[in-house]
A and B are shown apart, each in its own frame.
Chain A
């Protein structure tokens, strides 16, 4: 990843994290505000429900009072005060009065607790009212909740008790309204629905839940299934509880339900029922969604804008750096004249100016170095030439001086001396020609003719060629080891040039082992290239020798020209390969040649790079 992208990523990440942090903070604050608002609304609803409930209770008490003071009831009470046997004629009075006063429950109970007339269970006349002892103290009191037993079930109702004004044998009027769909529908609670769960252990839960808004039984069962955990929790806790009910996967359908346990007059009584006040969360959810959508839109837009601005800023900041890097790459590629435009006066401008001065200085130093190297090379060449030519010239001088001395001092022996001296002169001249030939050959190294070449086969041929010399009599034997990777594939190479280079290395190895030793020829595969190693166990090289060993005309031998290893390196380089030397004095030397599996034709720059010697000597 380049500097601009890194800078862009840092900018973007900073902006995104900032936006996300702000969004989370705003979301949390919004949610908290919503929750607080919902709590307040719920509390208001509960208070409103309680007011409505109380109002219904007062209305029931008022109707009961009206029934108790009505003429038929007064007449009946007066009659029963004298004779209880007269009750038969009034057994259906409760039903007709209940219809008139719109009551679901109405019973007339005499002073003995016997039902005279019952609207909700007309057939129960003459039976005792089971709750009579508990109910009579509430005569004249406000309304209360009570479980009323009917013929095949029991239902929850809001009841009141009144007594007629006959002191001796009062007639009790017990009545109320059933907490059913109609009752719940009369509660004036806008945007809210009220459900009633009747706590009847023997009833199926789906039938115990009264939902005024539900007509479909399957939906009622679904409602019950969803609410039953809240109902059970409220039954266990016997306290108000709140829960969000998820009706579907859409959160807008959720409802906040408040469960209010309903008890009778005595708290120790079992729970009579649970009122469930549901408040739709649709408005909240939709408002929350709108806020979230706006936040996402603003945040997303901000992020995109931030990315664009960051991109612009990063480009502006990194452009000088990129120019500098590009110039550095050009310098690295050999273009020492690369320059960076200097704009402004900031740190980057100073850096660019310094870079320009540095490259200029490097270019000057390079020129000076080349000049010095060129002088040194000429000097070395002159020294080598002088050295090489001085050796044959000295015998030539001595021979010519012998000829002159023989002609002057011993003319009779001149012919013999001339014959001997001529032979010597020819030999030395031949030697001079050989020296000149080698220099000429070095200057005329041919370009490699690449063809698929089996390196193992090449090494086997070289080993075969030198086998006789390695075991030649008169010298210490050298053991030859071929360690070849048989899985090598053919590589494009010039077999003649490589044969010549490798033979040169083998000859050097033989020269390094006058006392005998082991010569190892090894091949192996390394990634996409192959490696050829020529190792001996001879005297080894010093680190200084290793550094200079591929320098032309450098030799550690008494009679070497110093061109052998330079030629080897030249051949390897022309194959786009590398050659390194690893050696330690007294332990031997190992030349490692790396050849590419599919070498491209060498270029001048590549060739120059390939000539860099990796001195791996320890």
Chain B
């Protein structure tokens, strides 16, 4: 059958439309991603343990620096700079085989020696030696969870230049850094896993939730953070929002240990007086999950065993057993709009139980409202929570739920922490941000995302 000219024209047009359509869904290189975050980072050094943990830090630092291993959103260990690992002598000595062909942003090649030197700076109690294409790490005690620990940000491999400049092996390198204000990352052309699609990422720090939302609405930001309680008010028509699993522990943390049985009773009375349900419904607008446990149910699987019900009768009884109760001050971060309201409500609940709580913005207080970002690995998460309230990490010998439950019970029995809610992390992005699907643990994974072109053909204004 011979095609006429008109038929050729139609066939050609259909083919062209099909090709154009398929081009829109293919990743495109180029463009600068504008990101706004509330956190005001003052250091990009992953080994700087004085910096507070935050999701912004967790998402931005791995774009520059990489660890030997990493965890997926289920908490499983995955290779990164190390291709394989194995325990050598029980669980006290481990061998990690390093990936070859990895370069730092200054062009230097990653060697086991450099990786060992970087890890030694972060972990002075470990014995770390390089052995051919591997490094051997020997802990002073049994360390069955060493791979999980090496997945932590603080164990990222950093190469410090003589001028103090930090070099990493991540998909981006630092182009401009204004502490606490702005960070510009440029794509690493020679990244071992392939050049990222984005040319650059510009991050603005210290932006409030409302300011971020305005910035998104005006097209000045492509990716922002959303407060959990405001997430239901985001228009889904013009933006894409992403909500993680509950990853943040909202809790009350006492600044000192309970000094007497009476004080323990008062702390228990306070925990029993808090109306988590109404707080969750009203203040958090249903975004938070009432919690009496440290780990959320999706990580531990046993959170339901910790009751979140208010028991005012029991709370009053406990309060009445104590002759005198001096007033407590409850501190909150004035920059956190949720914390102040939460502190006031808890003070109101406590008053019903006969306790006196005075909310304050002062840094010195008897207890404070804290937000603790959790890790998807339960052991690491418990250790991190314990460290955040000044307690030693629990010794968990096995990965069984019973051992984990026991460790968490033990940690809560110190009564230094009253869990309130597990909060998800919520982000919103413009529709132009493609292949962006945050993990369950809230990680952005920006190395694989790309920006779609606008109708005029340009990627970014």
Rounded to whole angstroms, the CA-CA distance of A66 and B281 in the bound complex is: 29
Q: How far is the CA of A122 from the CA of B359 in the complex (A)?
A: 14
Q: Is A11 an interface residue (CB 8 A)?
A: no
- In whole angstroms, what is the CA distance A88 to B286 when docked? 9
The digit string for B338-379, where 1 denotes a CB below 8 A from any CB of A, is 000110110110000000001100000000000000000000
Q: Are A151 and B282 in contact (CB under 8 A)?
A: no
Question: Which of A121, A123, A126, A127 has the most C-beta atoms of chain B within 10 angstroms of its own C-beta?
Answer: A123
Chain B contacts for A89, CB-based, 8 A: 285
Given the known interface contacts A126-B278, A151-B359, A152-B358, the answer about A91 and B348 at a Cβ–Cβ threshold of 8 Å is: no
A88→B348 contact, CB < 8 A: no
Q: Report whether B344 and A151 are in contact in the complex, using a CB–CB cutoff of 8 Å.
A: yes
A337 to chain B minimum Cβ distance, whole angstroms, is 112
Q: Report yes or no: A122 in contact with B285, Cβ–Cβ below 8 A.
A: no
Interface residues of A in 104-139 (CB under 8 A from B): 121-127
Contacts of B278 in A (CB 8 A): 125-126
Q: Is the CB of A88 within 8 A of B281?
A: yes
**Inside 8 A of A121's CB, which chain B residues have their CB?**
344
Residue of A whose beta carbon sits closest to that of B356 = A152
Which residue of chain B lies nearest to A117 when distances are taken between CB atoms in the complex?
Answer: B282
Give complex CA distance A122, B348 in Å.
11
Contact present for B345 and A123 (CB under 8 Å): yes
Q: Report yes or no: B348 in contact with A123, Cβ–Cβ below 8 A.
A: yes
Interface contact A88-B282, CB-CB below 8 Å: yes
Report B-chain residues with C-beta under 8 Å of the C-beta of A126: 275, 278, 282
Verify if B117 is at the interface (C-beta below 8 Å from A). no
- Within B261-307, the residues touching A (CB, 8 Å) are 275, 278, 281-283, 285-286
Residues of A within 8 A of B358 (CB): 152
Complex CA distance for A151 and B347, rounded to whole angstroms: 9
Task: Note all chain A residues with C-beta closer than 8 A to B285.
Answer: 88-89
CB distance from B278 to the nearest CB of A (A): 5
Contact A123 B341 (CB under 8 A): yes
CA A122 – CA B347 in complex, angstroms? 12
CB distance from B370 to the nearest CB of A (A): 18
A123 adjacent to B281 (CB under 8 Å)? no
Chain B nearest CB from A130 CB (Å) reads 13
Cα distance, A508 to B286, chains bound together (Å): 148
B283: chain A residues within 8 A (beta carbon): 91, 123
Instruction: Enumerate chain B residues within 8 angstroms of A124, measured Cβ to Cβ.
Output: 348
Interface string of A60-91 (1 = CB under 8 A from B): 00000000000000000000000000011101
Q: How far is the CB of B109 from chain A (nearest CB, A)?
A: 56
**A121 CA / B359 CA spacing, docked (Å):** 13
Q: How far is the CB of A227 from chain B (nearest CB, A)?
A: 29
Q: Is the CB of A122 within 8 A of B281?
A: no
**Complex alpha-carbon distance, A356 and B398, angstroms:** 150
Closest to B352 in A: A127
Q: Select from chain A the residue with minimum beta-carbon distance to B284.
A: A88
Interface size band for A: 10 to 19
In the complex, chain B residues whose CB is within 8 Å of the CB of A123: 283, 341-342, 344-345, 347-348
CB under 8 Å from chain B, chain A span 135-171: 151-152
Q: Give A87 to B283 CA distance when docked, in angstroms.
A: 11
Q: Give Cα distance in the complex from A122 to B345, angstroms.
A: 8
CA distance A126 to B359 in the complex (A): 20
B349, closest chain A residue (CB): A123
Q: Give the complex CA separation of A123 and B352 in angstroms.
A: 13
Mask, A226-249, CB within 8 Å of B = 1, is 000000000000000000000000
Residues of chain B within 8 A of A88, CB atoms compared:
281-282, 285-286
CA distance A91 to B341 in the complex (A): 11
**Chain B hits for A125, CB < 8 A:** 278, 282
Contact residues in A for B342 (Cβ distance below 8 Å)? 123
Contact with B along A530-554 (1 / 0, CB 8 A): 0000000000000000000000000
- Chain A residues with Cβ below 8 Å from B344 are 121-123, 151
- Residues from 312 to 336 in A contacting B, C-beta threshold 8 Å: none
User: Interface code A13-45, partner B: CB below 8 Å = 1, 0 otherwise?
Assistant: 000000000000000000000000000000000
Q: How far apart sit A151 and B345, CA to CA, in the bound complex (Å)?
A: 10
Looking at the assembled complex, report how far the CB atom of A149 sits from the nearest CB atom of chain B, in whole angstroms.
11
Residue on B nearest A127 in the bound complex, by CB: B348
Residues of A within 8 Å of B359, CB to CB, are: 151
Closest partner residue, chain B, to A89 (CB atom): B285
Q: Which residues of B contact A91 (CB under 8 A)?
A: 282-283
| CB neighbours of B348 from chain A (8 A) | 123-124, 127, 151
* Complex CA distance for A122 and B341, rounded to whole angstroms: 7
Closest Cβ–Cβ distance, residue A203 to chain B (whole Å): 15
Complex Cα–Cα for A497 and B19 (A): 173
Which residues of B from 18 to 57 have beta carbons under 8 Å from A? none
CA distance A268 to B348 in the complex (A): 30
Nearest to A116 among chain B residues (CB) is: B282
Distance of A455 from chain B, by nearest CB (Å):
103
Task: Tell me the minimal C-beta distance from B420 to chain A in angstroms.
Answer: 14
Per the bound structure, the CA–CA distance linking A152 and B329 in Å amounts to 12
Proximity bits, B222-257, A CB within 8 Å = 1, else 0: 000000000000000000000000000000000000
Q: How far is the CA of A87 from the CA of B278 in the complex (A)?
A: 11
A123 to B341, CA, bound (A): 6
- Bound complex: CA of A91 vs CA of B283, how far in Å? 8
Encode contact with A along B62-96: 1 for CB under 8 Å, 0 otherwise: 00000000000000000000000000000000000
Q: Roughly how many angstroms separate A120 CA and B341 CA in the complex, as a whole number?
A: 12
Q: How far is the CB of B343 from chain A (nearest CB, A)?
A: 8
Instruction: Give the shortest distance, in Å, between B158 (CB) and chain A (any CB).
Output: 44
* Bound-state Cα–Cα, A88 to B282, Å: 4
Contacts of B275 in A (CB 8 A): 126
Residues on the B chain within 8 Å of A122, using CB: 341, 344
Q: How far is the CA of A126 from the CA of B344 in the complex (A)?
A: 14
- In the assembled complex, the CB of B356 is this many whole angstroms from the nearest CB of chain A, namely 10
Contacting residues, chain A, for B282 (C-beta < 8 A) = 87-88, 91, 125-126
CA distance A79 to B348 in the complex (A): 27
B302 smallest CB distance to A (angstroms): 29
Chain B residues with CB below 8 A from A152, complex form: 358
Name the distance in Å between A356's Cβ and chain B's nearest Cβ.
109
Q: How many angstroms between the C-alpha atoms of A35 and B62 in the bound complex?
A: 83
Write the chain A residue with the least CB distance to B279.
A123
Bound-state CA distance A490–B359 (Å) is 105
Q: Which residue of A lies closest to B342 (CB)?
A: A123
A257 to chain B minimum Cβ distance, whole angstroms, is 35
Q: Encode A468-494 as 1/0 by CB contact (under 8 A) with B.
A: 000000000000000000000000000
Closest chain A residue to B360, Cβ basis: A152
Chain B 300-355 interface residues, beta-carbon cutoff 8 Å to A: 341-342, 344-345, 347-348
How near does chain B come to A463, taking the closest CB pair, in angstroms? Answer: 110
Q: State the CA gap A152–B344 with chains docked (Å).
A: 10
Closest-by-CB residue of B relative to A87 is B282
Q: Which residues of A contact B347 (CB under 8 A)?
A: 123, 151
Interface residues of A in 397-423 (CB under 8 A from B): none
Across-interface contacts of A127 in B (CB, < 8 A): 348
Q: Given the complex, which residues of A lie within 8 Å of B345, measured CB to CB? A: 123
**What is the CA–CA distance of A87 and B282 in the complex, to the nearest angstrom?**
8
- Tell me the complex Cα distance, A88–B281, Å: 6
- How far apart are the CA atoms of A152 and B285 in the complex, in Å? 26
Query: What residue of chain A has the Cβ atom nearest to residue B344's Cβ?
Result: A123
Q: How far is the CA of A126 from the CA of B352 in the complex (A)?
A: 13
Q: CA of A151 to CA of B285 in the docked complex: distance in angstroms?
A: 23
The chain B residue sitting closest to A122, CB to CB, is B341
Shortest distance in angstroms between A43's beta carbon and chain B's nearest beta carbon?
Answer: 45
Give the distance in Å from the alpha carbon of A122 to the alpha carbon of B278 in the complex. Answer: 13
Q: Which residues of B contact A (CB under 8 A)?
A: 275, 278, 281-283, 285-286, 341-342, 344-345, 347-348, 358-359
Can you list 17 A-B pairs, Cβ within 8 angstroms, ordered by A?
A: A87-B282, A88-B281, A88-B282, A88-B285, A91-B282, A121-B344, A122-B341, A123-B341, A123-B342, A123-B344, A123-B345, A123-B347, A125-B278, A126-B278, A151-B344, A151-B359, A152-B358
5 interchain residue pairs of minimum CB distance: A123-B344, A123-B345, A88-B282, A91-B282, A88-B281
Q: 7 other contacts beyond A88-B282, A123-B341, with CB at 8 A cut-off?
A: A87-B282, A88-B285, A91-B283, A121-B344, A124-B348, A126-B278, A152-B358
